[in-house]
Structure 1
Amino acid sequence: MTETITNAIAVRDTGPGALVAQHRGDIELVMPSHLQKRVGAWIRTTQGLLRRDDKLMKAAQNDVGQFMSVLLDAARLGLEPGTEQYYLVPRWNKQKRCTEVTGVRGYQGEIELMYRAGAVSSVIVEVVYDNDRFEYRPGRDERPLHEIDWDAEDRGELRLVYAYAVMKDGATSKVVVLNKGHIAKARAKSDSAGKDWSPWNTDTEAMWLKTGAHRLTKWVPTSAEYIREQLRAHADVAAEQQAPAQIAPLPQPINTSNDEDEAIDAEFVDEEA
């Protein structure tokens, strides 16, 4: 049934919409296994985005190869295109002298990848406005203190963004704190930041959150490979501990302490995006 509906939509579409349906197998092939059952809905959502956004459709038509490359990147990451997980943005290409579709990973996408790696129990990414109370001293505070007056009609202008993760063993990752200067440097690296349709202008707070979340990925695992590495490490340890009975060493006291269980020192991150 899903296949029939997808094909029917593809027939009504021309160009990029039909191409997405034609490459269903390629999209499904690169998707994480837990999303492959939803590939039909993923394709229909993408086709719907094209029908609703004329600028996006035009950019996709200008270079369908670039458009499919962006979609395959979103599929490989297991993120939903056209959402705050993964923006689809028309971008002006000076060499081609036309707009083309580019992919921009959103803050929800960054957070999703951290959770998917399996090492964190929670991820906190928040913006701080001028009228908020914010305190954080590296070396003294494990986590920031952020108080918001929810009754205030105006919290002021964006001031800071911070991000940290609580690991599954209870440890706190390094705390990332970025000010307006850091955000300005990250924004300057975006070719489309000066355009009206850029998420830097249409969803400014989300881009601050995205920049903070992206910086946190330097300190927190974001790949399923992390899980595989942990499993291999445990398997190697178990193999080393299994020795022939005739040469087995005398039992030793089990040391249950683990240095990695200690909280990681938090620090203010002052570096370019």
Structure 2
Amino acid sequence: MSQISNALEKRDSGPAAVVEQYRESLALVMPSHLQQRVGAWIRNTQGLLRRDEKLMKAAQNDVGQFIAVLMDAGRLGLEPGTEHYYLVPRWNNKKKHTEVTGVRGYQGEIELMYRAGAVSSVIVEVVRTRDQFQFRPGRDERPVHDIDWDLDDRGDLRLVYAYAVMKDGATSKVVVLNRQHIAQARAKSDSAGKDWSPWNTDEEAMWLKTGAHRLTKWVPTSAEYMREQIRAQAVVESEQAPEPRIAPPLPVPAPAPGTVDDYDDGPIDAEIVD
């Protein structure tokens, strides 16, 4: 009987149960579009734990770290455990165990750009060795990328590029990264040498993510940007609005003879003298 009680206690205090306990806190940090489906968001996260033994173990090792990662995903309005926001078990040398870390995927980076409201489209693409690619800064507004779709193998990854088309039709800065740039970004990742790292399980996605992340330096990604634009527009409109015309006062007609206005003002109880 005690074993059953211990199992129930462990289950109720495990990562999946703790996620449910933080429902209100998660809802508070989520953007409005997610607050209506926080229940589904939590159930999807609990399902990830049940399906992935390594992820469950890492979450059990440090539940607080796991919740902090989920709070970050919720604040950004991204779905954990997807290409928008990876949940990655990572070894912590100081704590001597694995813990859950959050890694924004390239689709998550793009989602944040769209949500900020400044762009009409975002383009992030890899270039392989058998593709044709040309871009000269200062001469070309956007890259020209030709792909032979009949090829069974387009070759190895060569470049990644990213740019956004703004709402006014202008093109943002074009980011182009080569294999050396990607190698430098990979070297900064603590998990790159692990088998489960997305650098090893989905290399193309990490190239795309690196390109998209570099683009965020030149394109707004915060919803606060749109709120500031709305506030600024309201200020401009209020300053440009014409001042309301005030009609001149109507002339006061002279009192007719015999009215009370013929008499001097005085106290109501003034004495009347014959």
C-alpha displacement of 1:244 = 3.9
Letter in 2 for 1:34: H
Query: Equivalent residue for 2:26?
Result: 27
Tell me whether 1:105 sits opposite 2:76 in the alignment: no
Query: Equivalent residue for 1:47?
Result: 46
Give the match's secondary structure for 1:134: strand
In structure 2, what is the Cα distance between the partners aligned to 1:36 and 1:229? 22
User: Can you give the 5+ residue segments of structure 1 that lack an aligned partner in the other structure?
Assistant: 1-10, 248-273
What's the CA shift string for 1:174-231, capped at 9, x where partnerless? 1000001110111011000000000000010000000000000011111111111111
Higher relative contact order (CA 8 A, sep 6+): 1
In structure 2, what is the Cα distance between the partners aligned to 1:241 and 1:27? 42
Query: Equivalent residue for 1:145?
Result: 144
**Structure with larger Rg:** 2
Letter in 1 for 2:149: W
Query: Equivalent residue for 1:166?
Result: 165
What's the CA shift string for 1:122-181, capped at 9, x where partnerless? 000000000011011111111111111111111111000000001111111110000011
Identity %: 80
Give the match's secondary structure for 2:99: strand
Give the match's secondary structure for 1:146: strand
C-alpha displacement of 1:104 = 0.2
In structure 2, what is the Cα distance between the partners aligned to 1:140 and 1:186? 28
Query: Equivalent residue for 1:265?
Result: none
In structure 2, what is the Cα distance between the partners aligned to 1:238 and 1:83? 42
Query: Equivalent residue for 1:203?
Result: 202
Alignment of 1:12-161 (within 5 A): 15-161=14-160
C-alpha displacement of 1:44 = 0.8
Name segments (4+ residues, structure 1) moved above 3 Å: 11-14, 242-247
C-alpha displacement of 1:239 = 2.5
Count of equivalent residues = 237
Give the match's secondary structure for 2:222: coil
Flag the 1:32–1:245 CA change in 2: closer, same or farther, 3 A. closer
TM-score by length of 2: 0.84
User: Can you give the 5+ residue segments of structure 2 that lack an aligned partner in the other structure?
Assistant: 1-9, 247-274
Letter in 2 for 1:112: E
C-alpha displacement of 1:246 = 7.2
TM-score by length of 1: 0.84
CA RMSD of aligned residues (A): 1.5
Flag the 1:86–1:77 CA change in 2: closer, same or farther, 3 A. same
Residue range with higher mean Cα deviation, 47-56 or 237-246 = 237-246
In structure 2, what is the Cα distance between the partners aligned to 1:174 and 1:244? 41
In structure 1, what is the Cα distance between the partners aligned to 2:122 and 2:213? 12
